[in-house]
Each structure stands twice: as C-alpha cells, then as structure tokens.
Chains A and B, each alone.
Chain A
C-alpha cells in the first residue's frame, strides 16, 4: 500500500496535540505540488482531499498509475490553473499514502493498527498547516476541497482565519448527519466483520480484510451517485449474458460495476485508514466547537467564501451547504453560493461538470485579478 517511491514527505518536528488528548511529533506528512510558487508567494492554493483521496490531485498518480482524483479540475488551463497557481495537497494524517497513519510503525517498530490515536478533521488541518511554514507562505490565495475536503476547508479557515484570501467548500457539511454516520458505520462494520481484520492487526499476519473493505467501498459508492444517474447508466441491463441465471453471480451490470469498484479499491487503500478517516468525518461538528453557533466559527475571518453544491447530491445535500451560507450571512461575511445542476450525485465535484468547473475557474481567476 505504502509505496515509498515518488512520495514527498515533510517530517513535522513540532509536537501536535490531538483532540483525543495524545500528542504526536516527528511525524510524516506526504504531499505533492503542481505549478510553481511565484516570487510574492501569493498564488498558493491548498487543496484538501476527500475520504479516499490522496495528495496526487492530478496527472498520473505514481503509486496507482491512474489519473489523479481531481484531474478534471486541476491542471494547466483547467479550473484550478496550474500555469497560474501553485497547488499543494497532502495526504491526511490517518491516511495511507505516506502520511502518519495506522499502517505506520510505533516507536517499538510494531505497526500501529488500531493503536494509532483516533484523529479528527481538526487534527488533520492542524497537521497540514505545517506545509505553509515549509513553503514560507504567509497567506494562501485559496483553500478548497469537496466532501471531507470541504470539512477541512471550513475547519482550516476557522482555525487560521487570516491564512487564506478565498475559501471554497464544495459539496460538504458543517456537521455530519445521522445518515452520514449511519453509512460510515455500515462500512466500518463490513471491515471489522471480515475475519481477516483481526482487531486491526492484520498486517502482522500478511492478510488483509479485503472483502470487508470492498463491501464498505461498494456501499459508500452508492451514496456518491444519484438514483437517476444509476438508472441512466445501468438500468436493469444484464452483465454479458442474455438472460437471468437464477443464481447469485453478478447478473446485472450494476452488480458487476460495484464489485469492480470494491476490488480495485482494496488494492490502493488500507482498511484501518478507512476506519480512522470515516471516524474523523463522523466526529466533525463545527458548530459544536462553538457552542452550537456555526457563525462563531467564522467571526474572525475576512476571507471571501464561495460555496458550491449539486442538485442531485443526497449525501451532502444543498440545504447542508446552504446552512453554511446562512451562518456566514448572519455575520455579514463575504459569501457567494451556487447550486450546480447535475445528475451525477455527490461525485459531481470529481467529474466533468462544465457549469461547476467554469464557476470554480471564474471565481478563482476573478478573485486573483483583484489581488
């Protein structure tokens, strides 16, 4: 999983006190950059990845040899134009693409497994903040990300109110709903029910809970798509057969598709990381950090916000994105909002959705001109 080659790492010497009470230090953050930092150092964009993303935002991911997760949005002349901007993205702590996580070894050379401390979205952004010092950036031009990336965006600007000029949370929420937690719990149960999981100590036995992780991925994948999108793409089409087989093989294309999604996922993702990161999402409740008043999270920032949601996203629906807009408006913050028409569900932010990409590009480029 954790191929060392091609992974750039920053070792954070400074101790970081985690929300769970433990302190970590001398830990690695794996990152990647695109484009170049200008002499004024005012063109940097920090991108935060979602649950199963990593630092390889665009181009070919050197570990998986697949396209980066945000290739539609990031690159030369794209919405986040790397000819113009310096894009930084790092793997979240708890992850499995080189940043400190459960597949790392503890000081006694034993793999952490579930002995890794439980981390939160707050811990993730506090760890990533070290990248600003590393690159000598006083203020970012923008921070952005979708889904869990959007949660990190909100937490980052709350923690560091004067460290970004613009803020773009996409298809996200300020607080994980019961439904969100329920789906994550389903995934975690699938992993822990796999007999190969062995209380998280699977690595020592050279086995891994691939079946459980694949089921977790399949269930989650359904939540990233819309009913209409699924129906249009698959309907009741059969998989390489003329008729039903009266058995439990994948008769339908949708079954085959989900099985494939599950199987390729286990090649690139660590089951324990999946437990840790979904837990961090479930614990996310920004309003709770401010006694129930979400506006208080943003009271100290003058940043310009632009919030984007998608019509068919039922995982982080428009209303939850709008709640953030409402919290910002109630303190007179500079906030724009658009709901993009798309049948592609929550995954819309990762896909070729022209209205979304042009809105993102226009917002960034026009804001940069005003610099």
Chain B
C-alpha cells in the first residue's frame, strides 16, 4: 500500500460515494472499499488494468477521462480522486473542471517537478529528471504537462477553486502546505495532495 493512498484514504470519511479517475489496477479502490465501506467506481483507459480491477471485484468503466467524465451528472460523487494523472492529459484544465463538476470534492495528487532531486538532476546531469515518482525517460513518459506544487497551488487559486487541504508528501512524512511555507514544501516534497472544491 502506497503511503499516498493511505493519505488519500484519511481524507475520505466512511460510507461515501467515490469515483477514482485513472484507477489503474484498483489498489486504492480495493483499499477504500475494504477499509471504509466506500461505494467506489473506477474509470480506467487500459484494458489490462480494467481486467485486473474486475478480478478484484471492483466496479470499473473502461474509458478516457478526457471524454468520458461528461456522462456523469453534476455532483454525483462525494469525492472524485485523481492520483498522479493530471499531468498526463492533453487538457488538464478541462479535466480538472470536470472533476470538480462531477465531484462535490476532488482529491488531486501531483508528482512535484519542483522537488529538489528533480531540480538537481536537471541542473547537474543536464538530462530529463528520473525519480521514484517520475520513472520514465523523456521519450516514453506519459507526462505531457508537468507542474510543481507551487504551479498547481497558484493555478487552483487563480481559478477560484477552494483548497480544503494541501499536503506535501516526502516518503512517509506528511505536512501541510500553506502560502507561507510553499517555497520550502515545493523543494522538499516529491508529491502534492490537494483536497479541493468548486
């Protein structure tokens, strides 16, 4: 169980209705279903991953978040979760708007491009950074729109999206991000977790 998933699970109360967008093999869904009695659905683009979810007894819809979120009515889920996928969309802004339309709240996690190891990698090696949360080479990465915790923080503010909680995660260490420590967290966290609402 990834530490990230534990943090996400802690943000969601029991007995809620949740949509996991880009649910992959359903690890997070299974955890939420078993531990929090959460009524959870997944949306996943990969056929193999969809099969893995079905084998776990999870309700999953094969589909593309950029096209298929529109079928869900407004505020039809208590939470919509998007784990480390926002940067892989052609139009992340549109997806973010859809998450906030479909969910009463959304939980978005982003791999932080401002993390010191990423910065050092580029600065000293001069090649595209490869880290635990960014494991792919430049030519095969699914990531199209990398951002930093600071970028995302400013972006949601500029869109009048309410931030309920913003957490910085570095391995097992979790801390709260706010306006005053944003620079530091942006340097030392490899993952940002945001609970937002519009």
Chain A residues close to B by CB (< 8 Å): 304, 325-326, 329-330, 332, 334-341, 355, 358-359, 362-363, 366-367, 369-370
Contacts and interface: CB of A to CB of B under 8 A. Distances in A.
A304 B62 CA distance: 16
Given A326-B71, A330-B71, A330-B73, A338 B57 contact: no
List the 6 shortest-distance A-B pairs measured between CB atoms, nearest first. A366-B57, A326-B71, A337-B61, A336-B59, A362-B55, A362-B54
A332 B55 contact: no
B15 to A, nearest CB: 15
A338 B73 contact: no
A338 B71 contact: no
Contacts of B71: 325-326, 329-330
Contacts of B17: 332
**B50, B61, B72, B73 — most chain A CB neighbours (10 Å):** B61
Interface of B: 17, 41, 47, 50-51, 54-63, 71-73, 76
Given A332-B76, A355-B51, A339 B59 contact: no
Contacts of A335: 59, 61
Nearest to B17: A332
Given A329-B71, A330-B71, A338 B50 contact: yes
A341 B76 CA distance: 30
A335 B54 CA distance: 12
A337 B57 contact: no
Contact of B57 (A329, A339, A370): A370
Contacts of B72: 329-330
Nearest to B73: A330
A285 B29 CA distance: 36
A351 to B, nearest CB: 18
Contacts of A338: 47, 50-51, 54, 60, 62
22 contacts: A304-B59, A325-B71, A326-B71, A329-B72, A329-B73, A330-B72, A335-B61, A336-B58, A336-B59, A336-B60, A336-B61, A338-B50, A338-B51, A340-B47, A355-B47, A358-B55, A359-B51, A359-B54, A362-B51, A362-B54, A366-B54, A369-B57
Contacts of B76: 332
A326 B63 CA distance: 11
Contacts, number: 55
Contacts of A304: 59
Contacts of A336: 54, 58-61
Nearest to A365: B57
B47 A339 contact: yes
Nearest to A323: B71
Contacts of B60: 336-338
**A325, A336, A339, A359 — most chain B CB neighbours (10 Å):** A336
A314 B49 CA distance: 25
Contacts of B50: 338
B18 to A, nearest CB: 13
A332 B73 contact: yes
Given A329-B73, A337-B62, 7 more contacts: A325-B71, A330-B71, A332-B73, A335-B61, A336-B54, A337-B61, A339-B62
Contacts of B41: 334
A337 B41 CA distance: 11
**A340, A341, A362 — most chain B CB neighbours (10 Å):** A362
A341 B59 contact: no
B47 A366 contact: no
Contact of B61 (A325, A340, A363): A325
A329 B59 CA distance: 12
A367 B57 contact: yes
Contacts of A334: 41, 59
A80 B17 CA distance: 30
A320 B76 CA distance: 23
A362 B55 CA distance: 5
B51 A358 contact: yes
Contacts of A326: 71
A325 B59 CA distance: 12
A337 B59 CA distance: 8
A335 B43 CA distance: 11
B2 to A, nearest CB: 23
A154 B115 CA distance: 52
A326 B58 CA distance: 18
B89 to A, nearest CB: 20
Nearest to A370: B57
Contacts of B51: 338, 355, 358-359, 362
Nearest to A334: B59
A146 to B, nearest CB: 18
Nearest to B102: A329
A4 B73 CA distance: 53
Contacts of A367: 57
Contacts of B73: 329-330, 332
